[in-house]
């Protein structure tokens, strides 16, 4: 048995790896055992708990995305530019399903800029209705609000009897 001890957390955190030969800046390694990635915050890489975490109420431990408080699964990050799509972006403007529009949408103008029209920001927490599904279904069901208002209109109204009176 050897008397060698593993380096302490502080000693391990002090170990640095140069980013490149021409770069004078150095970053510290992740403190997790056998991890060679660079630390982001608290001495850990993103995979081992460094960086901002998702703030979803259910206790999600994934990383928060692009200036938001949530991970991809809980609505973080930026949304696809297609108006009816609420998926997360995987490219500059589109999700995986609409990635083909990235090349179709870019038409250079004489001034060298794209003719792509910027879209307004939509709420990322309210899902947009799927227009394709709506057109393919032969019979549409009413929305919850429509069903409740129709139900309240169809209920008979009874006079409210004062308390203390009973029927004989």
Q: How many CA atoms lie within 13 A of 31 on its CB side?
A: 15
Domain edges within the chain:
7-50
Q: For residue 155, give Cα distances in angstroms to 65, 146, 152, 158, 162.
A: 48, 14, 5, 9, 21
- Are 77 and 61 in contact by the 8 Å Cβ rule? The answer is no
pLDDT one-digit tens code per residue, 18-72:
545 555 566 788 888 888 888 888 888 888 888 888 888 888 888 888 778 888 7
pLDDT one-digit tens code per residue, 84-118:
888 888 888 888 888 888 776 554 445 544 445 54
Task: Quote the CA–CA distance of 118 and 66 in Å, as a whole number.
Answer: 19
pTM over 0.75: no
Q: How many CA atoms lie within 13 A of 124 on its CB side?
A: 19
């Amino acid at each position: 048995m050897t008397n060698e001890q593993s380096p302490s957390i502080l000693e391990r955190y002090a170990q640095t790896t140069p980013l490149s030969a021409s770069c004078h800046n150095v970053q510290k390694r992740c403190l997790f055992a056998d991890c060679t990635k660079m630390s982001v915050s608290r001495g850990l890489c993103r995979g081992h708990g460094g960086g901002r975490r998702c703030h979803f109420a259910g206790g999600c431990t994934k990383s928060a995305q692009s200036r938001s408080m949530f991970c991809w699964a809980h609505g973080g990050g930026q949304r696809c530019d297609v108006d009816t799509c609420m998926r997360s972006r995987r490219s500059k403007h589109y999700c995986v399903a609409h990635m083909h529009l990235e090349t179709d949408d870019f038409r250079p103008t004489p001034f060298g800029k794209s003719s792509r029209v910027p879209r307004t920001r939509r709420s990322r927490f309210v899902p947009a209705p799927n227009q394709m599904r709506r057109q393919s279904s032969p019979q549409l069901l009413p929305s919850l609000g429509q069903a409740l208002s129709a139900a309240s209109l169809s209920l008979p109204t009874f006079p409210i009897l004062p308390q203390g009176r009973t029927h004989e």
